[in-house]
Amino acid sequence: MNLIKKTSKQTVIVLIPLSILSAFIEWKRLPISILLGGLIGILNLKGLARGIEGLVVTYQQAPKGRLIFGSFTRLLIIACVLGILFFFDLINPFGILIGFTVFFIFFVKESLKAAKEL
């Protein structure tokens, strides 16, 4: 969980000023899209960690099926929410991509640090 907290904290610290600066480019949709992209990345990581933690703690007969079903359900919910927001023209797809990329960079960085410590 330390990895998730560090990644979340660093992502939020970078995304807030980035979204404020992006308000000067396109003030309607870009800032909220950048924040939403980072938030989706953080929530997806937390959901994935919860699913794997549940597998390790309570090992049952078919843990793979439960993990796959949970992952597909989570991705379906994310796709539906993004699809609805995009359909009503409330988000900017490039903003989502920027926010998720910032999250992904910090996640890879913290994962490499954690791997070196092991």
DSSP secondary structure of 10-74:
HHHHHHHHHHHHHTTT-TTTHHHHHHHHHHHHHHHHHHHHHHHHHHHHS--S-HHHHHHHHHHHH
Residue of 45 and 26 predicted with greater confidence: 45
Average pLDDT, stretch 5-13? 94
Name the nearest CA neighbour of 107 among 37, 15, 36, 5.
Answer: 5
Sign of CA dihedral 13, 23, 36, 76: negative
Q: What integer pLDDT is reported at residue 53 of this predicted model? A: 78
Q: Enter the tokens of residue 19.
A: 């979204």
Instruction: Quote the CA–CA distance of 95 and 86 in Å, as a whole number.
Output: 12
DSSP element (H, E) containing 115? helix 93-117
Identify the band that residue 71 occupies on the pLDDT scale cut at 50, 70 and 90: confident
Q: What integer pLDDT is reported at residue 9 of this predicted model? A: 95
Q: What integer pLDDT is reported at residue 14 of this predicted model? A: 95
Is residue 117 over pLDDT 90? no
Q: What integer pLDDT is reported at residue 27 of this predicted model? A: 81
Please name the residue that has the structure tokens 């070196």.
Answer: 116
84-96 tens-digit pLDDT: 999 999 999 999 9
Is residue 24 over pLDDT 70? yes
Average pLDDT, stretch 8-36? 93
